[in-house]
Structure 1
Amino acid sequence: MRKIQLHINVLNLTLLFLCLLVGCSLHAQDSVPVRDMDPYFDEARKLRNQNKIDLALQTLDKAAEKAEEGEDLKGLIDCYHELALLYLKLDKESDTQFYWDRASVLLKDTAYPYGDAIHKYIEAILLYEADQSFQSLFMLNEAKQLNNDRNFFNNILLTEAMVYMKLEKYESAAKNLNSLVVNTDIYEKDYLSTRAYLGLADLNYRTENYEESSKNGEQALELANANGFFLEIRKANDLLSKVYSEMGSYQKAWTNSQNLLKIQDSLFTIDKVKVEAKTADKIRDDYKTELIARQDDTIEELKESQNRSELTAILTSAFLIIISLLAVSLYRNNQIKLKTNDLLQTKNRELQVARDGAVQAMEAKTNFLSTVSHELRTPLYAVTGLTHLLLEENPSEHQKEHLKALKFSGDYLLNFINDILHINKIDANKLEPLNMEFNLKKVINEVMDSLQQSAKENKTKLLLDYDNDIPSHLMSDPLKLSQVFMNLIGNAIKFTRGGIVEVICKLKEKNGEDVTIYFEVKDNGIGISKEKQQSIFDGFEQGSIQINREYGGTGLGLTIVKSLLGLFGSKIELKSNLNEGSSFMFDIDMKSKDDIVDDIDFEITQGEYDFKGLHIMIVEDNKINQVITKKMLNKKEITCDIASNGEEAVTLAGENEYDAILMDIHMPGISGEEATIQIRKFDQQTPIIALTAISLDDSLESFYAAGCNDVVTKPFKPEIFYQKIGENIFDKKAKSSLS
C-alpha cells in the first residue's frame, strides 16, 4: 500500500505542475542550500532580460523537472511566481494573476518567508498597473520586511522608482534610480543599470532637462546594445528620438527613429509567437506522455500482483489525470489564441509608434530645410540686388553679357531652392505645376545661353534642333521646365569634353488645344554603364566614386528632374553606352495658348510711376541688404531712413511721416509682425510692405493680419519691387481720393 500511495502522491504533485509550462528567473536566495535547479533559474533570468522567451521556457522546463524530482514545493512556488513575472514581461496581466493565485494556494500550507516576499512584490506590481500607487508602495514596503536578498531589494527599488514617477515624485524616483546606476548586484548588474538609466532619461525628459536626458538615454542604449536587451534598445531609441527633437538635434532624432524602425520586426513577431507556442506545447505533451507511461508501468505491476482494488484505484487516477490533461490542453490552446491576438495588437501599436517616429523625423527635416532656405535667400538677395545695380550703371558690352548670365543664374538658384523644398510635397502629391503662358524656345535658349561658358570651357558645342511647328504660345510651368533643362544640359556638358550636346524639341501630336511635345537631350560623352542606369536617378548617385571625384557634383540633378517630370505626368527614359554618350528622353503634354480663351494676365502690368520726392523707411537688420535696398530706392530718386530693428522702426514711425515702410519680418528683438502691430496702433494710413526672405511654403495670412498691406519675397525682381511700391502708394491714394 505504501508503494501505491507513493505513486498517487507523485501523480498529484505532477497534476499541480501541469499548468506550469515555463520556469522562472528571479532566483530565491534564502538561507537554504543551493538547489540543483538554481543554475537554470540564473540562466532563465538572463534570457528573460534579453527577451528570448522561447529559450527561457526551455530552461525553466528543466528547472521544473528538478523541482518535481525532489518534490520541492518551495521550488514549485518559485516557479509559479517567476512564471507570473514572465507574463508581466509580456504585459499579460490575466495570466500573471492566474499563476499568482496558484502560488497563493501552496503558500497557505507552506512556511516560506521568501515566497511570501515575492508574492507581495508581484501584488505590488499588479496594484501599480491598476493605478493604485499608494497601495503599491505599502505592499512593496511589506515585501522588504520579509527578505533582505540584494537582488530582490534592487528590483524593489526599481519598482518603487516607477511608482514614484507615476505619482510625479521625481526627487524620490531619482534617488532610487541613481542608487541603481552603480549597483553591485551579482545577477542583474547591467540590466538594472540599463533600466535605471532609462528611468533617469524619462524623468529628465518629463522635467524638460533634455541635455541630461540625452546623456542618460545614450548610456542606457550603450548598455542595452552590449548585453542584447532588445526591449530596452527599442525604448532607448524611442525616447532619444523625442529628446533630440525637442533639443533641435534633428539629425540625431532622425538616426534614432531609423534605428527604431530597423528593430521593430525583431520584437514580438508572429514567428516568435509560434516558436513560444510550439515550446509550450512540447512541454505539455512530454508531461502527458511521461504520466501515461508511468501509469502503464504501475498497471502492469498491479496485474502481476492480482491486486484488483489497487488496479481500480490506479485506473481511476489515470482516467482523472487524462481528463485533467485534456482540460488543460483545451485551456492552453485558448490561451495561445488569446496570446496571438494580444501580440498582434502589440505589433500594431509598435507600428504606430514607428509611424509617429517617422512623421516626427520628417517634421525635423522640414524645419531644417525651412531654416536653410531662409539663410540662403539672404545672401542671394545681395547677389541679385547688386547684379541689378551693376546693370543700371551702363556696363560695357562684354560686362553686360556676364551680368545677364549672373542675373539669370541668380533667378535660377532661387527657383532651385524653392523646388528642393517642394520635393517632399511632390512625393505627397501636394504640389502641382503652374499653368501660365510662355515661349518654349525662349526658355530653352535662355538655359543654353547661361551654360555657354561651361560648354566653352569643356570645348563642347551646344546645338538646338527645334521644331518650328511647335506653337509659340504654350501653357505650362516654364520655371520647372527650365530647371529640368538646366540639370539635363548641365549634366551633358559636364560629362562631355570636346564633343557635342544637342537639345531636340519635336511636336509629337497636336489635337485642338492639346499638344504633346517630345524632348531629348543627348551627348557623345562618357556614357553610363548598364548596371548603373537603374540607380542613376536615385538621390546622390553618380556612375562611380571615380566619376564623382573627376567631374564633381552631388548626384542630385537627375533625382530632381525625375521628380519634376512626375509633376507633369511624364517619365524620363535613358539610352546610353559607355564611351558612346547618353540620351535622356521624355514627353510633356501642354496646351496651346492660341486655342485657349484666356482672360488672365500672365505678366505683371507695369504702371508708370513718378517716385521722385518720396520718403520711405527701410526696416532691415542685415547691413548689406540695407545698402542694396537703399541704392535701389535712390535710383528712383527716393530718399529713405533706415531702422536696424523693430524697436527702432516703431520709434521712427512715431516721430516722422513716411510715404511707405518696407518691413523685414525676421529680426532680433521684436519681429517685423510685432513692430507692424505696434505701428498700426497710432498709424493706420502709411502703407507697410513686408520685405522678407520667407519660404514659399509659409503662410502670408499672419503678415496681413498684423497690418501689412502687401508682401514682397526676397530676392525679388526689381520691376516687381518698384511695381509694389507704386501700387501701395499711388494707386491707394487714387482710390482714397475717389471715395
Structure 2
Amino acid sequence: MLSLRNFVVVLFTLSCLYSFGQKPKNLETTQEILVDSLLIKGINAINTAEFDKSILKFQEAKQLARKINNQSRVGLSQQLLANVYLKQGEYDKAFPEIHEAIKIHQELQESGKLAEDYLTYAQLLDKTNNKTEALKFLDQSIAIFESSGEKNAKQSLATAHLYKGAILQEQKKDDAAIKEFERALQFFSKLSDSRNNYSIARLKLLIARSHNNLNKLDKSLAEATEAYNLSKEGSFPLIETDALRLLSTISRKMGNPENALKYLEQYIQKAQLYFQEDLASTRNLAARNALMADINPHNYDVSKRVQANKITTVLIIALFTILCLLALSLYKNNNLRAKANELLQAKNAELVIAKENAEKASVVKAQFLSTITHELRTPMYAVTGLTHLLLSENPTEEQKKHLDSLKFSGEYLLSLINNILDLNKLEADKVEVEQATFNLRKRVDDVLFALERSAQEKGNKLHLEYDSEIPDQIIGDPLMISQILINLIGNGNKFTRDGDIFVRIKQLSRNETQTYLHFEVEDTGEGISKKKQKDIFQNFTQGSVQINRKFGGTGLGLSIVKRLLTLQKSKIELESTLGKGSKFFFDIKYGLTQNKKEPEERVYEIDYDALKGRNILVVEDNKINQMITRKILEKNEMKCDVADNGEIAIEKVRFENYDLVLMDIHMPGISGIEATQKIREFNKDLPILALTAVTIDENIDDFYLAGFNDIIPKPYKVEEFFFKIHNALKRKNVIL
C-alpha cells in the first residue's frame, strides 16, 4: 500500500505556507485551511484503521475544495479516497476517483502528485489482474520520481520498484524481478527510518525466492539466510518463519536433506511459538515425510512403485471410460446443442447479476458482523474481568449468588458473540480442520462437566454411554468436536425440563490407521415437527416464534454444527417426534497414533516467579479496563503504572524505566499505533504488546510495522495473557 507519510508532508507544507508566508486574507484562504484540516483528520483515521471515518473526511474535503474551485486539493482528496478504497478492496469505487485525480494533476502539471496517482493506479490494475498495464504505469511513476530528485520521493520510488518486482516475479520473469528488488533495496537502505528494516528483510526474502526459481541455489541460500537473520534481529515473525521454510526447500534442492529437515523442524517450532500452528498439520507432516524419504530412500521405493502402478492402471481405465461416455454423449445430443447454448447464455447473464448482488450483500454482512462483535467484546472485557476479580475476593454467600448469576449471563453473552464470529468465519471458508492428538473421553467429560449445572437448574440428568473399545489417543480436531457436542447437548437441555439427555459414542470399525465413530445426542424434550426438521439447520432458525420467546437463543447452534461436520466430511442426521424428544446423530473418522505419550493440547509454559516485580505500563483510556488489568497484574506481584492516553505514555516511557508496555489501540488524541511509532523513535528495545479488541487477522503486518512485538486480543484467558508477556520479556532477554 502507498505510504501515507508523503501525503502528510504535502499537507504540512501547505499549512506552513499559511502560517509563515502570509496571513489569511479572505474567506477562500480560510476554507483552504479547512480543506487541509479535513485531509489530515482523514489520514489520522487511516492510521487508526477507522476507514469509514477517513472516507467521510476525504469526501468533505473534496466537496469543499470544489466549492472554492481549488482543483489541486480536489485531486489530492480523490487520490486519498482511491487509496482507502484500494485498502478495503472496493476497486469499483477506487477507479473513478484515481481517474479524476490523474486528469487534474496532468492539467495542473503537478508531477509529484501525478507520480503518486500512477503508483496507486498500477496497484489497482494489478489487483484486477491487468498486470501488463500495471507495469506501464509503474514505469511512468518511477520515471517521474527519479526526475524529481526530492528526498520525500525515495520512499515512494522504493515502493514502486518493489511492486514492479513482485508483478514480474508472479509472471515468472525472475531475472527482471531481481533487478527491481535490488533497486528498491538500495533506496530502503539509504532511508534512516528504522521501520524500513521490515521492508529490507522482506526484499531479501523475495530476492531469495527468485534465485530459487532460477535454480541459483547458492545466491538464494545467501539471501534467505540474511533475511532470516534480519527478521530475528527485528522481531519479524512472519518473515522469520517464511525464511526457514524457504531455507528447507533450498537445502533439499541442493541435495542436503539433513539440513532441510533441520530447517523444517525450526519452522514448525517457530510457527507453534508465534502463531500456535499445530505440529501435526497435514502440510508439515507431508514435508517431513518427504525429507525422511530422501534420507532413508529404501523404506519408500517399493511402496512408491506399487502406488505408481495402481495410479497408472486407474487412470487408463478412467480415461477409456470417459472417452466412451463422451462419444456416446456427443452422438445423442448433437441436435440439442444449439438450443441448450442459447438457454445457457441467458441463464449465465442472470447468474452474473445474481452473483454480483450476493457478493455485495456478503460484504455488507461481513462488515456489520465485524463491527458489532468488536463493539460487544470491549464491554464484555469489563463484565468478565470484574466478575472474575469479585469472585476471587471472598464475597458473602448472598453476594456470591448474584455474582454467579452475573458470570452465567456474561458467559452466555460471550458465547453468543463467539457463535456470530464462528458463523462468519465458516461462511468465509476461513476455518481449517486441525490434525492434533487428543483424548476423546477427556474432551467429552469436560463438556458434560461444563453443562452439568445448567442441566441441574432445569431438572435434567446427563447420561454418557461411552464405548470402552475407543482408543485413548486419536488424531483429529479436538476443538470442533467440543463445539459440536456443546451445541447439541445445550440444544437438548434448552428444550427439555425434568427429563434426560443421553450422549452415546460407539466405535463402528477400526484398523491400524483410523477409527470410525458414531455419535448420538438424544433428549426427552419438546421434539420437532416434520415440517420444521427441513429448516432447523439453517442460520437463525428455530421451531417457531413462540419457541424463541419461550426458550431463547439465536438459532445459530445447529447451523454451526452442520458446517463443522461438513468440514470433517460428515453429515448431521435427525430423528424427532413432537412431545417425545429428538435424537441427533453423525459419524466421523479419526486417525490413530502410535505415540501414546504425545500431549493432548498445548500447555502454557510460564515462569510466574520471573514475572514478579516486573514494572509494567498499562496504556488504556477506559477506567474500568485500567482497574481490571492492574488487578490481574498486581495479583501476580507485578508493578503496574497507568497512562490515560498515548501522549502521557510517550512521556512516561521517555523518563521512566519499564520492563514492558501494554498498549490499547483506540484512545482519544493519538492512537496506540501512533504512540508506539513515536516510542520506537527513541526506544527500539522496549517490549510493547497491543492489548485490544480489534480484529487483526488480515492486518497483522500493520501492527508489526508500527513497532509492536505481539498482540493480545480482548477478552483473553489469563494464562494466555501472562504467556504473551512472559514470551515478550524472554525474547528481549529481560528474563532468562
TM-score when normalising by structure 2: 0.49
What TM-score does the superposition give when structure 1 sets the normalisation length?
Answer: 0.49
Larger Rg: 1
